[in-house]
Amino acid sequence: MEIVHTTEVRALVELQRKDTAIGALTARAAEVPVKLAALRKAFEDKKLSMAAAKEALCALQVAKKDAELRIAEAEEGIRKHQRELNLVKENDAFKALLSEIERDKAVKDELETRELLILEEIDKAAVLEKAEAAEVKKLEGVMNSEAAALEASAAELAAAIEAAKKDRDEAAADISPDLLDKYEAIRASRAGLAVAAAYQDPATGKYSCGGCHMSLTPQKTVDIKKQDAFAVCADCRRLMFLEQTING
Ligand SMILES: [Zn+2]
């Protein structure tokens, strides 16, 4: 079967065009859930990053409370030792209390320095947390409108596919069953493309198959120019035709 004689070349070419268009619509429809998932993932990631910022702020606030508590304890220690200072008679005990007080004061100074650093970090973390929350809110709005647009386009695509399939089935019903079977068998094994236009390289003048892009033998080059016939590609077995032959 190196050549398929039929008066339905133009009808089959047209059917292939319809099927190719349905394939393209179907591919676009398949992209919609992928895009929706990507949108939702980006939003969830942003929410996670906002939660992390909130958690960091909380941890700093806990650290601040802890420092305040320990400062109060150090102050209490200082006051206690100062009261005791008034009661002791012995020089050694007096000296010991004084050094206790010095130690407490040093601890208190260190804690106060730490608290200041924590306060600075809290300011930064609060700014970051606010920015993250604003971004989440903004992204939520963007996501909702983009998701709505995608869902609308999915509905349009589904309707277009349904209409195109109906139109295609009507066109297929007019083609003789033998030729249609041949067409469907090749289409099933060749990624949906059974009928391919052969094309000429303007530089070399050589023709190639529009399906597999292998160059044609001189005999095939003669065959594709015949009226009311498809030349079968020696490489991919697709049905080849020439645009100028079916249009001319
Ligand atoms: Zn081919």
Question: Quick check: 112 pLDDT over 90?
Answer: yes
Mean pLDDT along residues 22-35: 97
Q: What is the pLDDT of residue 248?
A: 63
The residues with which 197 forms a beta bridge, in sequence order, are 241
The alpha carbon of 13 is separated from its chain's Cα centroid by a whole number of angstroms, namely 36
Query: Is pLDDT of 12 > 90?
Result: yes
Q: How confident is the model at residue 245 (pLDDT cuts 50, 70, 90)?
A: confident
> Which pLDDT score, from 0 to 100, does residue 246 have?
82
Q: How far is CA 117 from the centre of its chain?
A: 40
pTM value is: 0.77
pLDDT at 192: 96
Q: Which domains does the chain have, with CATH numbers?
A: 23-174 (1.10.287.1490), 181-247 (no CATH)
pLDDT at position 205? 94
Instruction: Give helix then strand counts, H and E, for the chain.
Output: 5, 6
Residue 168: per-residue pLDDT: 98
pLDDT given at position 59: 98
Distance from Cα 202 to the centre of ligand 1, integer Å:
19
> What is the distance in A from the centroid of ligand 1 to the CA of 19?
18
CA of 187 to the centre of ligand 1 (A): 12
Decide if pLDDT at 39 tops 80: yes
List the one residue out of 199, 191, 180, 205 whose CA is nearest residue 236: 191
Q: Average pLDDT for residues 81-98, to the nearest whole number?
A: 92
Determine the distance separating the centroid of ligand 1 and the alpha carbon of 60, expressed in angstroms: 68
Q: 186 with 237: CB under 8 angstroms?
A: yes
Residue 105 exposed, middle or buried by CB count within 10 Å (0-12, 13-18, 19+): middle
Average pLDDT, integer, range 5-27:
97
Judge whether residue 1 has pLDDT over 90.
no
Q: Region 41-47: what's the mean pLDDT?
A: 96
Given pLDDT bands bounded at 50, 70 and 90, which one contains residue 247? confident
CA of 241 to the centre of ligand 1 (A): 11
* pLDDT for 211: 97
- β-pair partners for 215: 208
Compute the distance from residue 193 Cα to the ligand 1 centre, in Å: 10
In Å, how far are 36, 64, 160 from 61, measured between CA atoms? 38, 5, 57
Structure tokens belonging to residue 125: 């973390």
Give the tokens for residue 57. Answer: 């702020």
